[in-house]
Amino acid sequence: MSSFEMSGFEMSGFEMSQFFIFYSVWSGTMDDSSYVNCTWKFDWSELKSQGVDELTGHITVTSDYNHFTATKIDVKITENNQEITKIVGSNYYAYYVSYEYSLIPHYENPSFDNMFLPSDQNDTILIVEGKQLHVNKTFLSYHSEYFRALFSSNFKEGQMNKIPIEDVSFKDFALLLSTFHPDPVFVTDTIVEKLLELARRFLVPSVIKVTEHYLINWSNIDNEKMLWLADEYGMSKLLEKCVRKITTVEDAKKLKNSEEYKKLSAETKAKVFDRLLDSI
């Protein structure tokens, strides 16, 4: 049987990526030039039920024995655009094709009002921009030295039933708390910088660690900005990864010409320089 007579292959099933589940169907057909027409269809009903508003990232298609160069397909999927198509392959008679996802969910704006309602588990109220957030002192104190001090008997706030939190918007503050809430909001590229800023101010190291893990594994932020974030917020594993990605003079020039370069510490600039020397 010649390659162009092969009616393609199909696979469907549940996939998991960054703690969300989606259902997809992949199909492919070979044309008379031995290239493969690949199509991915996503079941948006499952994604919608999880509050996902959009998926971004990429799909990487490869073949066994490197019959063609790995192809990276940029993905942006919404409820109104649920299909990705791409032609891949080479002039071989036949080959096996496989793929992997690296997708980031973007969630609809969560209802923070419902997230911080009164309950038996909550024992104090924080007031931000006139709005109330019912929280648990012990839980917040465990995650944050800031709240541990705030709730202590050494501060007047520790004796108050309602504690005002100044100089922060309700939306931003609720976003920070929701990141380590029992029903958490997941990190995305659009909120990482704000989360890191708030996590440093309110001394929540767990949020910085969660954000670092996200940036290392799923983010599409460019390496120059990622390097600055790692340097600015003390994310050593991310910093190491970003420095390792600078392997050529062109990479170094791109960094030098970026807005982030002038904000880097002298120590990080030295690490980049050492990395270049090692590459020579």
User: Going by C-beta distance under 8 Å and a sequence separation of 6 or more, which residues neighbour residue 16?
Assistant: none
Find all residues with CB under 8 Å of 80, minimum gap 6, and list them: none
- Same domain for 80 and 97? yes
pLDDT of residue 35: 79
Q: How far is the C-alpha of 15 from the C-alpha of 25, rounded, in Å?
A: 10
Give residue 20's pLDDT band: very low, low, confident or very high (50, 70, 90).
Answer: low
Q: Higher pLDDT residue, 83 or 165? A: 165
Question: Final residue of a domain: which of 188, 212, 236?
Answer: 212
Amino acid at 14: F
3-class state of residue 50 by DSSP = coil
| Co-location of 78 and 126 in the same domain | no
Q: What is the pLDDT of residues 151-208, one digit of tens each?
A: 987 666 556 789 999 999 999 999 999 998 887 788 888 889 999 999 999 999 999 9
- Are 124 and 196 within one domain? yes
What percent of the chain is predicted at pLDDT more than 90? 41
Q: How far is CA 103 from the centre of its chain?
A: 9
For residue 93 the two structure tokens come to: 């008679």
Residues 181/211, Cβ–Cβ less than 8 Å: no
- Domain end, chosen from 81, 107, 133, is at 107
Q: What is the dihedral of CA 41, 25, 29, 36, to 10 degrees?
A: 70
What's the rounded mean pLDDT across residues 126-141?
Answer: 94
If one compares 25 and 260, the residue with the highest pLDDT of the two is: 260
Cα 134 → chain centroid:
28
The DSSP secondary-structure symbol of 181 reads S
Whether residue 17 is found in the same domain as residue 98: yes
According to the model, what pLDDT value does residue 12 have?
43
My answer on whether 93 and 131 are in the same domain is: no
Centre a 10 Å sphere on the Cβ of residue 193 and count the other Cβ atoms it contains: 16
**Looking at per-residue confidence, does 44 or 155 come out higher?**
44
Domain count, the chain: 3
Amino acid 4: pLDDT: 28
Residue 108 pLDDT: 62
pLDDT reading at 89 higher than 90: no
Residue-by-residue DSSP string for 123-163:
-EEEEETTEEEEE-HHHHHHH-HHHHHHTSTTSGGGG-SEE
Is 8's pLDDT higher than 60? no
- Residue finishing a domain among 191, 212, 233: 212
Q: Which residue has the tokens 């100089």?
A: 167
Q: Which residue has the tokens 């980049």?
A: 272
In DSSP terms, which residues pair with 72 in a beta bridge? 60
Domain that residue 231 falls in: 221-279
Q: Are residues 207 and 226 in the same domain?
A: no
| Bigger pLDDT: 124 vs 68 | 124
Contacts of 6 (CB under 8 A, 6+ apart): 29, 30, 94
188 versus 269: the higher-pLDDT residue is 269
* 21, 41, 83 from 79: Cα distances, Å: 15, 11, 10
One domain, residues 55 and 149:
no
Same domain for 152 and 185: yes
